[in-house]
């Protein structure tokens, strides 16, 4: 049976990229400690408990999906900016963009009785428009409870990133991302995977935090989930990760809709959340994109 490689929380970017490039996924062990897990639960359980089950088979009729984790949880903000993860996401996506951004934040709770999800690639979110030679996504699922075979640990098909879209995984090609609470599954947007079946009597809870290219549309709309008035107090790096910066030269600017002369025209979205040195859109260094 295939299995996923496990690395320590401090693994080097090179090692992570080597394994993800080959297998499409790996597990980082023990990234969160017990008190950090507790904080996550305290901040987010009220939202999770109030979330209704999914309304279709893919979302899961016995599954809850709870978003906007950035504005709802200081612990989630910290997890999104975890250095090992962000360094790996940057390295993995660097060939396809000048800047990465947050794609979605979602607690996925599989309740007892939830069946297996359809095996899929997350890159299918962009449909047939996503070119094969682009790797658009770097993903994480943080185990908030233990992930076991019995409770529906994520199913992964190691080595499937270059398969044709219509190839069906055989049972012996599929493994499960079993890991203890606090560990993190890292996986490419191109690897075949799915939620497992929860045959246990308790919830399987994971936090899906994913990253994409700075010039693509985000799956969870971060400007609406995290409006400027809430984002102003966050560190600059997190503001940038949410998309409050230019995605490329000219990508993402806006014009504050104030009275004539009150505001500059054509500013970076950073202008909405912090003092920026110049009202200009962004550095001309970003224009290098036109030469690529
Ligand atoms: O819950 C899981 O383990 C994976 C879910 C998933 O892959 C998805 O909803 O796209
Ligand atoms: Fe998925």
Total domains present in the chain: 2
Q: Does one domain contain both 193 and 253?
A: no
Rg (CA), the chain: 19
The atom number, within ligand 1, closest to the CA of 63 reads 1
Asked whether residue 259 carries a pLDDT value surpassing 70, the answer given is yes
Same domain, 206 and 105: yes
- Ligand 1 centroid vs 193 CA: distance in angstroms? 7
Q: Is the CB of 136 under 6 A from ligand 1?
A: no
The answer to whether the CB of 267 falls within 8 A of the CB of 253 is yes
User: Torsions phi, psi of 236, nearest 5?
Assistant: -55, -40
Closest ligand, as measured to the CA of 179: 1
What pLDDT, in 10s, does the model give residues 147-167?
999 999 999 999 999 999 999
**Could you tell me if residue 232 is inside a domain?**
no
Instruction: Give a yes or no: residue 66 inside a domain.
Output: yes
Spatial distance between the Cα atoms of 61 and 73, rounded to a whole number of angstroms: 26
**Is position 234 within any domain?**
no
pLDDT for residue 292: 46
The owner of tokens 């658009």 is: 136
Q: Kindly state whether residues 60 and 188 are assigned to the same domain.
A: yes
SS3 146: coil
Residue 261 has pLDDT above 90, yes or no: no
In the predicted structure, residue 176 carries a pLDDT above the cut 90: yes
Over residues 216-226, the mean pLDDT reads 98
Distance of CA 200 to the CA centre of its chain: 26
Question: CA separation (Å) from 113 to 80, 93, 174, 284?
Answer: 30, 36, 21, 54
- Joined tokens for residue 23: 């297998």
Mean pLDDT lowest among 60-64, 157-161, 189-193, 253-257: 253-257
Residue 82 lies in a domain: yes
Sign (positive or negative) of CA dihedral 136, 196, 221, 272:
negative
Task: Render pLDDT for 224-252 as a digit per residue (tens, 0 to 9).
Answer: 999 999 999 999 999 999 999 999 989 99
Give a yes or no: residue 77 inside a domain: yes
Could you tell me the pTM of the whole model? Answer: 0.96
Same structural domain for residues 97 and 37? yes
The ligand 1 atom at the shortest distance from the C-alpha of residue 153 is 3
Percent of the chain with pLDDT over 70: 95
Both tokens of 51, joined, read: 């979330």
| 153 and 261 housed in the same domain | no
185 with 269, same domain: the answer is no
122 lines ligand 1 (CB under 6 A): yes
Residue 233 lies in a domain: no
Q: In which order are the strands placed within the sheet that holds 6-8? A: 6-8, 25-29, 184-188, 137-143, 204-213, 100-110, 63-66
Beta bridge partners of 222: none
Residue 214 confidence (pLDDT): 97
The last residue of one of the domains, among 190, 222, 254, is 222
Q: 189 and 98, same structural domain?
A: yes
pLDDT at 258: 84
> Based on the domain organization, do 194 and 258 belong to the same domain?
no
281 — pLDDT class (breaks 50, 70, 90): low
pLDDT digits (tens, 9 = 90+) for 62-83: 999 999 999 999 999 999 999 9
pLDDT (mean) for 95-103: 97
Indicate whether 286 and 253 sit together in one domain. yes
- What is the pLDDT at residue 221? 98
Cβ distance 69 to 44 under 8 Å? yes
Which helix H or strand E contains 88, and what residues bound it?
helix 83-93
**Which has the closest alpha carbon to 62: 236, 177, 195?**
195
Is the pLDDT confidence value at 111 over 60? yes
**197 contacts: CB under 8 Å, gap ≥ 6:** 114, 115, 116, 152
Cβ of 195 below 6 Å from ligand 1: yes
In a domain, 173, yes or no: yes
The domain in which residue 46 lies consists of 6-222
* Separation CA 219–CA 2 (nearest Å): 30
Q: Are residues 118 and 203 both part of a single domain?
A: yes
Residue 68 sits in the same domain as residue 203: yes
SS3 208: strand
Question: Average pLDDT, whole number, for the chain?
Answer: 95
Distance 32 CA to ligand 1 centre (A): 20
CATH number at residue 30: 2.60.120.620
Q: Do both 134 and 41 map to the same domain?
A: yes
How much distance in Å is there from the Cα of 285 to the middle of ligand 1? 38
**Is residue 92 assigned to a domain?**
yes
């Amino acid at each position: 049976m295939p299995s996923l490689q496990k690395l320590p929380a401090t693994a080097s970017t090179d090692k992570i990229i080597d394994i993800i490039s080959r297998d499409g996924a790996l597990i980082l062990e023990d990234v969160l400690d017990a008190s950090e897990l507790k904080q996550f639960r305290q901040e987010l359980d009220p939202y999770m408990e109030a979330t209704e089950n999914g309304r279709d088979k893919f979302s899961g009729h016995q599954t809850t999906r709870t978003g906007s984790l950035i504005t709802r949880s200081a612990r989630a903000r910290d997890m999104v900016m975890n250095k090992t993860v962000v360094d790996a996401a940057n390295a993995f996506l660097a060939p396809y963009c000048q800047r990465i951004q947050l794609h979605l934040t979602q607690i996925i709770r599989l309740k007892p009785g939830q069946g297996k999800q359809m095996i899929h690639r997350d890159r299918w979110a962009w449909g047939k428009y996503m070119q094969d030679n682009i790797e658009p996504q770097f993903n994480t699922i943080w185990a908030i409870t233990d992930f076991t075979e019995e409770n529906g640990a994520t199913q992964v098909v190691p080595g499937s990133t270059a398969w044709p879209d219509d190839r069906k995984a055989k049972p012996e090609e599929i493994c499960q991302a079993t890991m203890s609470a606090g560990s993190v599954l890292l996986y490419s947007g191109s690897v075949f995977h799915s939620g497992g079946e929860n045959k246990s009597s308790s919830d399987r809870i994971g936090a899906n935090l994913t990253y994409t290219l700075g010039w693509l549309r985000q799956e969870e709309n971060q400007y609406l989930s995290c409006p400027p008035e809430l984002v102003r107090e966050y560190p600059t790096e997190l503001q940038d990760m949410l998309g409050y910066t230019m995605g490329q030269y000219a990508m993402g600017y806006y014009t504050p809709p104030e009275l004539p002369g009150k505001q500059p025209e054509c500013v970076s979205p950073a202008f909405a959340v912090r003092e920026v040195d110049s009202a200009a859109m962004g550095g001309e260094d970003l224009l290098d994109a036109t030469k690529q």
